């Protein structure tokens, strides 16, 4: 059985976020291709995925390996990374809002619309950042020439697929950033570096 290092929350009350959030919120889909890794994890709650990653099924496999397709089992460490990234994001949001008067049931989604609006306003900056990366691999998977073209075309999106790609990229980045991280150009670039270079 594989022992995976699953990050834990600093406050147990944050575990409720895991119980109410689906695996589809993890970075399992490439926003520029629609290609999805770990399909079987999409329909599980984050709490189930964490539990399965830490529970053996009696056949010398953890439960998550048992649930995943054979090809996904070979990349299970990527799933662990996505789960840990989710946990980090919930912690960042919690640190940002824990002393506020706002009673939050799900820190992961708080402020999502505002973050999407900020990213949309500075979308050119995000695209320039991504196109300047000297890599063929991003946090969500392969970054092919075709996807680079889609990303560039999304700058001029008014309808159709280009609009979908743009919306997907904005939504994906917004889920894994905080409002404070998007506050200035310098802060956004630092945040993008931390997000995309993993």
Nearest to 177 by CA among 133, 130, 111, 124: 111
Please tell me the predicted confidence (pLDDT) of residue 2. 60
Is the pTM of the predicted complex or chain greater than 0.85?
Answer: yes
pLDDT in tens, 61-99: 788 988 898 889 888 999 999 999 999 999 999 998 888
**Arithmetic mean of pLDDT over the chain:** 89
Please tell me the predicted confidence (pLDDT) of residue 81. 93
| Spans of all domains in the chain | 12-97, 112-196
Question: Token digits for 134?
Answer: 């000297």
pLDDT in tens, 42-69: 999 999 999 999 988 777 778 898 889 8
Residues 6+ away with beta carbon under 8 Å from 136: 142, 143, 144
For residue 20, name the pLDDT band (cuts at 50, 70, 90).
very high
């Amino acid at each position: 059985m594989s022992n995976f290092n699953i990050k834990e929350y600093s406050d147990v009350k944050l575990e409720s976020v895991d119980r109410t959030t689906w695996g589809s919120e993890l970075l399992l889909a490439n926003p520029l291709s629609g290609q999805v890794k770990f399909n079987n994890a999409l329909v599980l709650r984050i709490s189930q995925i964490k539990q399965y990653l830490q529970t053996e099924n009696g056949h010398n496999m953890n439960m998550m390996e048992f649930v995943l397709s054979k090809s996904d089992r070979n990349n299970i460490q990527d799933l662990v990374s996505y789960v840990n990234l989710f946990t980090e994001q919930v912690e960042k949001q919690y640190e940002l809002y824990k002393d506020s008067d706002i009673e939050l049931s799900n820190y992961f989604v708080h402020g999502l619309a505002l973050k999407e609006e900020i990213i949309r306003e500075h979308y050119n900056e995000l695209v320039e950042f991504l196109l300047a990366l000297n890599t063929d691999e991003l946090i969500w998977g392969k970054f092919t020439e075709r996807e680079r073209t889609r990303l560039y075309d999304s700058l001029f999106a008014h309808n159709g697929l280009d609009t979908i790609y743009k919306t997907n990229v904005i939504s994906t980045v917004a889920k894994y950033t905080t409002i404070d991280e998007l506050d200035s150009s310098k802060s956004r670039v630092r945040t993008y570096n931390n997000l995309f270079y993993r």
